[in-house]
Amino acid sequence: MYYTTDKHHGLKHNPFNALIVPRPIGWISTIAANGDVNLAPFSFFNAVAYTPPMVMFACNGPHAEGGIKDSLHNIRETGEFVVNIVSYDQRHAMNATSAPAARNVDEFGLAGLEALPSNTVSPPRVAGSPAHLECVLEQIVSLPCTAEDSSNNMVIGRVTAIHIDDAVIRDGRVDISLMRPLSRLGYMDYAVVDDSFELQRPEGG
């Protein structure tokens, strides 16, 4: 099949994000200026640089109560966030935190999650996550949006500190079979990454 994106794809479900897979999930914790804590998953998420280490996630669409989503709102206010890596075991809790909760609802409580303090930023970390990236806001890129009463915003953060559960480190490497990160596919599908193979790059690659 072939289609141009100004026309309908003709399928029952939009195939776009079923093609860009697997997507890692950034489980983003933030805090508002008034101290309200928020937690939500984002699969438009990735690393974008090593030096300094930077990550991005895209906060798209409106909050259920109108306006922008809490995660973006809080980051605009306080300029900090934490990326919590989601393990397969945390899949149900992660899903629960995506509920369109009212603005002042703390999704840690909603999903029965324990919050751990961070070291370099104010938002707390999710206990039980195999890794956490503490981040300060670098830039918010406002992207075009063709949906009504909506917006697309890419948040770029500089990673200031990293926590890794010692239990997922074997022989000095993060062992994917121990970390078992959850990843997002298209539709309502997910995958768990717990297997890998090695491929050496060509000389100079």
Query: Which residues of this protein are in contact with ligand FMN, per CB under 6 A?
Result: 25, 38, 40-44, 58-61, 63, 69-71, 95, 98, 100, 184
CB 86 within 8 A of CB 42: no
Please state, as a whole number, how many other Cβ atoms lie within 10 Å of the Cβ of residue 152: 16
CB of 132 to ligand FMN, least distance (A): 18
CB of 205 to ligand FMN, least distance (A): 30
Residue number with CB closer to ligand FMN (44 or 175): 44
145: nearest Cα among 44, 19, 60, 45:
60
CB of 44 to ligand FMN, least distance (A): 3
Q: Give me the phi and psi of 25, to 5 degrees please.
A: -110, 120
Residue number with CB closer to ligand FMN (21 or 167): 21
Residue number with CB closer to ligand FMN (1 or 19): 19
Residue number with CB closer to ligand FMN (25 or 55): 25
Give 58-88 as a DSSP string.
EEESB-TTSSB-HHHHHHHHH-EEEEEEPBG
